[in-house]
Amino acid sequence: MGATCYARALYGPWARSMSTSQKISRGFHKLALFLAAIVLLLGVAWSAATAINAANSARQSHDEQLELVCAKTAITNNFGDHALVAEPDGRIDLKTWGCSDEQEMVLYNDVLNARAPDEFSYATELLPPLTLGLSITLALSLAVYGVVRAVGWVIGGFVS
């Protein structure tokens, strides 16, 4: 049973088979959807990974700043003269002051200049890069779809 017979059986005796340019256009439409979906899936994965890495990096920076503030508070509360607590090279160990679980040497000036960071929020750090990445991904997917469809229209036009 050929395509014409199938179309007539499905739509009745008034159904016509598609022309060659329609077949090409439909084929390019399917190809465009497929390629745009691939770009969309890869872009969503990349956007999510990038946003999560940015949020984790911001969290780590926030935690490091909290450690410096903790050391500043401990030094200020325990000693009146800050110059006595630093190593000869101007560094102090955060673990000694109970501000870190690991031995971590930081510059004494960084501790003195430490300011308490704002409260951390994953949503605040995650949403801007995620939104940007998803916007770019959507634009690229639509561009891929449009380019493939345009190529299909041009090739379909030459056939007819």
Predicted confidence (pLDDT) per residue in 80-105, tens digit: 544 455 665 677 878 877 888 888 88
- Which of 17-26, 70-79, 101-110, 142-151 has the weakest average pLDDT? 17-26
Confidence class for position 159, pLDDT limits 50, 70, 90: low
The residue assigned the tokens 């870190």 is 100
Quick check: 41 pLDDT over 90? Answer: yes
| Percentage of the chain modeled with pLDDT above 90 | 40
Mean pLDDT of 20-43: 88
Mean pLDDT of 1-18: 58
Residue type for position 113: N
pLDDT for res 92: 81
Domain limits, the chain: 27-159
Does the model's pTM come out above 0.85?
Answer: no
Beta-bridge mates of residue 93: 105
To the nearest 10 degrees (0 to 180), the angle between helices 122-159 and 20-78 is 160
Confidence class for position 14, pLDDT limits 50, 70, 90: low
For the chain, give the mean pLDDT.
82
pLDDT for res 107: 81
Buried b (16+ CB within 10 A) or exposed e, 80-100: eeeeebbeeeeebebeebebb
Q: Comparing C-alpha atoms, which of 55, 59, 51, 53 is closest to residue 130?
A: 51
| Percentage of the chain modeled with pLDDT above 70 | 79
